[in-house]
């Protein structure tokens, strides 16, 4: 048997096992050993078993694949704390739908990855594997870091504002937020039901498309699109039409992020894409306010009782969310929900004539320090209207930290988004990397 490289991805494992070049338990043991070796400094896991978990008996398409599960997602055989002191000893009675589905597919849950408190803004201890003095982003902090460090091949995350795309960009991995409702949220703790998405981290477009094709649907999932992606990988979308959005106003991009976006647009145009600069209609500027209203009202409903009962075990940031949300009038909430859905439909019309929108997933490199997780503002519009978006690693900034791009498509156009992302990944010629300092 030949040992696979640390950078091996999901499909590398699938193919190696099919060729008889590796044993599933050896692969899981290697992932576990790496996670344990890094955990003292990286602190990506809320729970990491002392021994390598046993591979699920039988064969499945994800056999031998190590998965990190965000600690917002219920696991019956591992603690689920939601990043909260209230639930430090919490053990769910059953797995979340997506966890059960992963196990049925043969995947091995390596451990639970750190989340900010209830996926809101109080950071956990996870560090960026490219520089331990910098944030990995949030709220899916441990998921992004565990994939970037080579501890797992895929990790589950959630996004209510920018909690998959921004950490993916900061940690130099692929992050996918499919259309709202694509993967069932049963067993995932609510932050804001109208904004919450289940997303994925991997190190390549082929891997994230393959995993999505196996997880889409399930109880309560709004979308059951059949994703035609298998072990052969994604067929690139030929000569895509790309609308290049240059954000104006706050949050402002760092010079290195501006240069990266210009490089990517030029690279895509030089490789045969039709790239055109665009601006969005004025009403799209209201999306941050719409998001704040919806998230505030639903967050207050979800956490108001907890904050009242446990004021000493909830953060000032969560308490502020509840206080702000409790003051939102029902009429304002309903108006925001109506505008949210109207702008989703409007985005489809705005993007007519293009295949995807190209924009930035973050303002630049991961900020220094662990007290904040970075500004999610560049992801908020697309999360608010529930459209699919993907972050691709594309370069590094002046401090050697990763920079990424973000591609966005209309609601339900997840397959096209992934095909265009595969084409862009090839045009960027920026292969998957494992953080050297991890």
Average pLDDT for runs of 10 along the chain of length 438: 81 96 96 97 98 89 98 98 97 98 97 98 98 98 98 98 98 98 97 98 98 93 80 96 86 95 98 97 97 98 98 98 98 98 98 98 98 98 98 98 98 97 98 81
Kindly state the tokens that stand for 338: 């109506």
Q: Is beta strand 154-159 parallel, antiparallel or unpaired with respect to 66-70?
A: parallel
> What is the spatial distance between Cα 375 and Cα 386, in angstroms, rounded to a whole number?
19
> What is the spatial distance between Cα 315 and Cα 237, in angstroms, rounded to a whole number?
45
Compute the chain's Rg from CA coordinates.
20
Q: What is the 3-state secondary structure (H, E, C) of 238-302?
A: CCCEEEEECCCCCCCCCHHHHHHHHHHHHHHHHCCCEEEEECCCHHHHHHHHHHHHHHHHHHHHH
Residues 6+ apart with CB under 8 A from 141: 44, 113, 114, 115, 116, 123, 124, 126, 135, 167, 373
Superfamily (CATH H level) for 10-280+349-428: Amidase signature (AS) domain (3.90.1300.10)
Cα–chain center distance at 385: 16
> What is the spatial distance between Cα 10 and Cα 203, in angstroms, rounded to a whole number?
9
pTM: 0.97
Kindly state the tokens that stand for 410: 């209309």
């Amino acid at each position: 048997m030949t040992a696979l490289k640390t950078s091996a991805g999901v499909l590398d494992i699938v193919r190696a096992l099919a060729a008889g070049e590796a044993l599933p338990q050896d692969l899981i043991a290697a992932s576990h050993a790496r996670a344990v070796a890094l955990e003292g400094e990286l602190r990506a896991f809320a729970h990491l078993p002392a021994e390598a978990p046993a591979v699920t008996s039988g064969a499945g398409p994800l056999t031998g694949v190590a998965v990190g599960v965000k600690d917002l997602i219920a696991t019956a055989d591992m603690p689920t704390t939601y990043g909260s002191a209230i639930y430090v000893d919490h053990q769910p009675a059953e797995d979340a739908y997506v966890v059960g589905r992963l196990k049925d597919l043969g995947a091995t849950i390596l451990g639970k990855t750190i989340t900010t408190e209830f996926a809101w803004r109080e950071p956990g201890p996870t560090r960026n594997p490219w520089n331990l003095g910098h944030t990995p982003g949030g709220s899916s902090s441990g998921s992004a870091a565990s994939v970037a460090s080579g501890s797992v091949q895929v990790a589950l995350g959630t996004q209510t504002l920018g909690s998959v795309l921004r950490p993916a960009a900061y940690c130099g991995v692929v992050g996918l937020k499919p259309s709202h409702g694509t993967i069932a949220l049963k067993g995932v703790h609510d932050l804001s039901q109208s904004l919450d998405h289940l997303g994925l981290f991997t190190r390549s477009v082929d891997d994230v498309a393959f995993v999505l094709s196996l997880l889409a649907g399930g109880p309560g999932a709004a979308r059951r699109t059949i994703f035609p992606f298998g072990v052969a990988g994604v067929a690139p979308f030929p000569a895509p039409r790309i609308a290049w959005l240059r954000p104006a106003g706050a949050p402002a991009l760092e010079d290195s992020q501006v240069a990266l976006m210009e490089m990517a647009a030029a690279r895509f145009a030089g490789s045969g894409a039709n790239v055109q600069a665009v601006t969005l209609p004025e009403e799209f500027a209201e999306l941050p306010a719409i998001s704040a209203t919806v998230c505030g009202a639903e967050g207050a409903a979800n956490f108001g009782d907890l904050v009242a009962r446990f004021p000493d075990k909830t953060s000032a940031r969560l308490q502020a969310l509840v206080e702000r949300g409790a003051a939102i009038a029902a009429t304002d909430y309903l108006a925001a929900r109506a505008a949210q859905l109207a702008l989703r439909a409007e985005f489809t019309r705005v993007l007519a004539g293009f295949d995807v929108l190209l924009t930035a997933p973050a303002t630049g490199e991961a900020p220094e320090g662990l007290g904040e997780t970075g500004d999610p503002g560049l992801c908020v519009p697309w999360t608010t209207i529930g459209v699919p978006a993907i972050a691709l690693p594309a370069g590094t900034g002046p401090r050697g930290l990763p920079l990424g791009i973000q591609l966005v498509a209309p609601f339900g156009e997840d397959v096209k988004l992934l095909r265009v992302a595969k084409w862009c990944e090839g045009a960027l010629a920026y292969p998957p990397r494992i953080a050297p300092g991890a």
